[in-house]
């Protein structure tokens, strides 16, 4: 209807691809490289090298870097340029503390709020994670885990919980990859996530909170083993 109204009033509809499309692709590529470990913590990002590798202008690159800075995936140090920040165990522990509280609350709320269709979709996403765990595919593990939690957070009925954890998503994904690098952790994570699903499907709010918080506590213990003492 909007297109028809614009045509009716003789207005031109601009369907051209904008620079934002290129910028978003640059953000996505760099985010993937950071989360996959291509750029290690402490690594300095050289703008000229990135422009050549990505085939983009310096202005497009700098816009993308500002977006990644907002996600706390890079830090721009005066007179030194962009770097991959070093995530300390103290930083990680604070993230896990926030996750434990908010994901427990979100799971509890979902037990009384999710529709039957939502619960079916939650199981579909859970089984996608299970396949990734069996295949031991680290990229798929992080993506399917994020998809499982996305439906819980988006259906919990509290947009602030969703917004806070969305702001931590990149760092959560980084920590997930670390914790799931431990032998057997991915399958154990699946079992814990299945317990969350079952509590929500059973409409058991108390158990949903309990098992969601326990899952995060176990993930924190696993991740700690990957950090230097």
* Fold classified for 2-83: Arc Repressor Mutant, subunit A (1.10.10)
By C-alpha distance, which of 61, 191, 138, 5 is closest to 218? 191
By C-alpha distance, which of 146, 141, 116, 121 is closest to 131? 141
18: left (phi over 0), alpha (psi -120 to 50) or beta: beta
Q: What is the mean pLDDT of each run of 10 residues along the chain (229 residues)?
A: 46 51 84 76 87 89 88 84 88 96 98 96 97 85 92 96 88 86 93 98 98 97 89
Report pLDDT for 190: 97
- Sketch the domain layout of the chain as residue ranges: 2-83, 89-224
Element (H, E) at 171: helix 169-179
Element (H, E) at 77: strand 75-77
Query: How far, in Å, CA of 113 to CA of 64, rounded?
Result: 37
The per-type count for the chain, helices as H runs and strands as E runs, is 11, 2
The arrangement of secondary structure in 89-224, i.e. its CATH architecture, is: Up-down Bundle (1.20)
């Amino acid at each position: 209807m909007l297109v028809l109204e614009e045509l009716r009033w003789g207005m031109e509809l601009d369907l051209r691809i904008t620079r934002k499309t290129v910028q978003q692709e640059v953000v996505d590529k760099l985010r993937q490289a950071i989360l996959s470990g291509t750029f290690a913590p402490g690594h300095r990002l050289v703008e000229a090298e990135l422009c050549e590798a990505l085939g983009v202008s310096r202005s497009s690159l700098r816009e993308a870097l500002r977006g990644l800075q907002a996600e706390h995936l890079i830090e721009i140090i005066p007179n030194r340029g962009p770097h991959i920040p070093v995530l300390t165990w103290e930083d990680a522990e604070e993230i896990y503390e926030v996750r434990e509280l908010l994901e427990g609350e979100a799971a509890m709320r979902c037990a009384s709020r999710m529709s039957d269709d939502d619960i079916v979709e939650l199981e579909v996403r859970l089984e996608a994670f299970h396949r990734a765990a069996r295949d031991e595919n680290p990229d798929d593990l992080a993506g399917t885990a994020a998809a499982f939690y996305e439906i819980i957070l988006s259906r919990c009925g509290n947009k602030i919980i969703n917004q806070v954890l969305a702001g931590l998503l990149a760092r959560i994904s980084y920590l997930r990859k670390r914790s799931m690098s431990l032998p057997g952790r991915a399958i154990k994570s699946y079992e814990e996530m299945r317990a969350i699903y079952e509590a929500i499907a059973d409409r058991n709010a108390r158990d949903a909170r309990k098992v969601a918080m326990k899952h995060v506590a176990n993930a924190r213990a696993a991740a700690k083993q990957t950090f230097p003492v």
